[in-house]
Amino acid sequence: MRAYRMVEAGESAKLVDAPCPDPGPGQIKVRIRACGLNFADLLMQKGTYQDTPQTPFTLGMEIVGEIIGLGDGIGTRTVGERVMVYSGQGGLAEYGVFDAERAVPIPDAMTDEHAAALQIAYGTSHMALDHRARLRPGETLLVTGAAGGVGLTAVEIGKLMGARVIAHARGAERLAVAEAAGADHLIDDSEDLRARVKDLGGADVVYDAIGGDVFKAAFRATNPEGRILPIGFAGGEVPQIPANHLLVKNLTVIGFYIGGYLKFRPEAVANSFEKLIEWYQAGKLNPHVSHVLPLGQVAEGMALLRDRKSTGKVVIKP
């Protein structure tokens, strides 16, 4: 089978011919129909992601496909069933073997592209805003990088949870995407983020996907007792948070990494996915996929993420 793999640490990932795996006990074999790209895939290639596997490994963290084989001890899944799997790796290939407990059945009405876009981006935003930040109706949510893979889902879910949403993004085209997702106020990256947010009454919850100077400005525009979620660092700089500044306004900085929950509270992730599928079936979520590319163009897809030229999700279809 073809797979997009990291063969040796320090080398570039590449499309290779690899053995087609067989499922072991507790595993399913899947014919992969779609795989969502994530900024974490870029970090894994540099070896800087917190969960980078040992080489060799196949990139691709979230997949959608059809079960074509079962290992021993599988009682809840069936051959022919469509499932989505938050796998962490192995998705950028024609076939894959995954733990059955991570597989979630998907409704017939959900497209492969939407199912691939739903898991990490929507799961991250839903769990971060609901489970961790406890976002309440009527609060003001500031989302930076609001047209990106996770930022756009935070805008959409924040509105579903009853918040007033301020979207920050680069350029009119990307801001229009955030506005279509439900943003109440728009701030261009060229503007003074701190001043604009303060003029709008400040932020009660900050969902920051950029880091660097953007995080610093958002931090200073947060209201007393505000909660700040440093979700990602697409700008390249991991912010250093002065603890003494937290005291002045009684701020809370909340760590969140959805992959960690797969290890100590996997049921929380499953519950989140079930809620997201419920919202999708009710027509309340509309995953935005800006690019669908074949397996031979993974590098181009990665470049779209790296250069922030995509909006919403980039999906690969093997």
Q: How far apart are CA 254 and CA 247, in angstroms?
A: 15
Residue 48 has pLDDT above 90, yes or no: no
Neighbours of 102 (CB within 10 A): 18
The predicted pLDDT at position 9 comes to 86
Mean pLDDT of 291-304: 97
pLDDT digits (tens, 9 = 90+) for 205-260: 999 999 999 999 999 999 999 999 999 888 878 999 989 999 999 999 999 999 89
Tokens representing 283 are 């027509």
SS (H, E, C) 278-304: HHHHCCCCCCCEEEEEEHHHHHHHHHH
- DSSP state letter for 76: S
The predicted pLDDT at position 179 comes to 97
Asked whether the CA dihedral 291, 294, 299, 300 is positive or negative, the reply is negative
Percent of all residues in the chain with a pLDDT value above 70, rounded to a whole number: 100
Percent of all residues in the chain with a pLDDT value above 90, rounded to a whole number: 85
Residue 11 has pLDDT above 90, yes or no: no
Q: Which domains does the chain have, with CATH numbers?
A: 2-118+259-317 (3.90.180.10), 134-253 (3.40.50.720)
Based on its alpha-carbon atoms, the radius of gyration of the chain, rounded to whole angstroms, reads 19
Q: How far apart are CA 155 and CA 161, in angstroms?
A: 10
pLDDT digits (tens, 9 = 90+) for 18-44: 999 999 999 999 999 999 999 899 999
pLDDT digits (tens, 9 = 90+) for 169-211: 999 999 999 999 999 999 999 999 999 999 999 999 999 999 9
C-alpha closest to that of 148 among 121, 118, 119, 116: 121
280 burial type by CB count under 10 A (0-12 exposed, 13-18 middle, 19+ buried)? buried
Residue 125 has pLDDT above 80, yes or no: yes
The predicted pLDDT at position 312 comes to 87
Say if strands 2-6 and 57-58 run parallel, antiparallel, or are unpaired.
Answer: antiparallel
Residue 10 has pLDDT above 90, yes or no: no
DSSP secondary structure string for all residues of 118-139: IIIIIHHHHIIIIIIS---TT-
Q: How confident is the model at residue 75 (pLDDT cuts 50, 70, 90)?
A: confident
C-beta separation of 39 from 232 below 8 A: yes
Mean pLDDT of 43-57: 90
As a 3-state breakdown, the chain gives helix, strand, coil percent values, each rounded to 5, of 35, 30, 40
The predicted pLDDT at position 262 comes to 87
Q: Phi and psi of 60, rounded to 5°?
A: 110, 110
Say if strands 103-105 and 140-144 run parallel, antiparallel, or are unpaired.
Answer: unpaired
Q: How far apart are CA 150 and CA 121, in angstroms?
A: 5
The predicted pLDDT at position 76 comes to 86
* Bridge partners, 291 (sequence order): 314
Mean residue pLDDT across the chain? 95
- 47 Rama class: left (phi>0) / alpha (psi -120 to 50) / beta: left
